[in-house]
Amino acid sequence: MNITSIKSTYGYIGFLPFATFSLIPWIIGGDVSKTLIYFQLGYGAIIITFLGGFAWGWRDDQQNQKLNLSIGIGFSLLGCLILLLTFLKIIFISLIISIISFYLFYLFEKSTEDFQKKDIDYQKFRKTLTLLVCISFLISIGYWINPYSYPYL
């Protein structure tokens, strides 16, 4: 098994909480649903903070690495903002920031020299995984603003 396959396997396993926390509210409803969306936001905040730290491991001799480090720190701070907004129960904005953060991180990573040197399977995997995570947040937004569920009340 090559390293890309292992990364893909672990990446999709890491996606399972996103899928679970976004789909279960539609199935069971109630107060548990609100809690699962809070968990999704917490998990997402941890993951985007972790991804922001990736910039520290990229080659130091690549173009714009100083800027890449600063941008990576910015994504980690976005993770902290998502946690803060969730704690303050500003869930809708937190969900939107989560979608934007994950998609922007993908665009940021895609723009680096290291990403361009990765094999095509890895590049496709990252795109697919980012889209799946963003879709999971969209599903949660749908639940959050659904007039029949009213979890925000």
Which helix (H) or strand (E) is 6 found in, with range?
helix 3-28
92 to 33, 57, 95, 114, 144: CA distances (angstroms): 14, 33, 5, 34, 7
Give the percent of the chain with pLDDT over 90: 67
Kindly report, residue by residue over 106-146, the tens digit of the pLDDT.
Answer: 999 998 888 888 889 889 999 999 999 999 999 999 999 98
Count, residues in the chain: 153
The model's pLDDT over 47-86, given as tens digits with 9 standing for 90+, comes to 999 999 888 877 777 778 888 888 999 999 999 999 999 9
CB 62 within 8 A of CB 111: no
Q: Which amino acid is at 55?
A: A
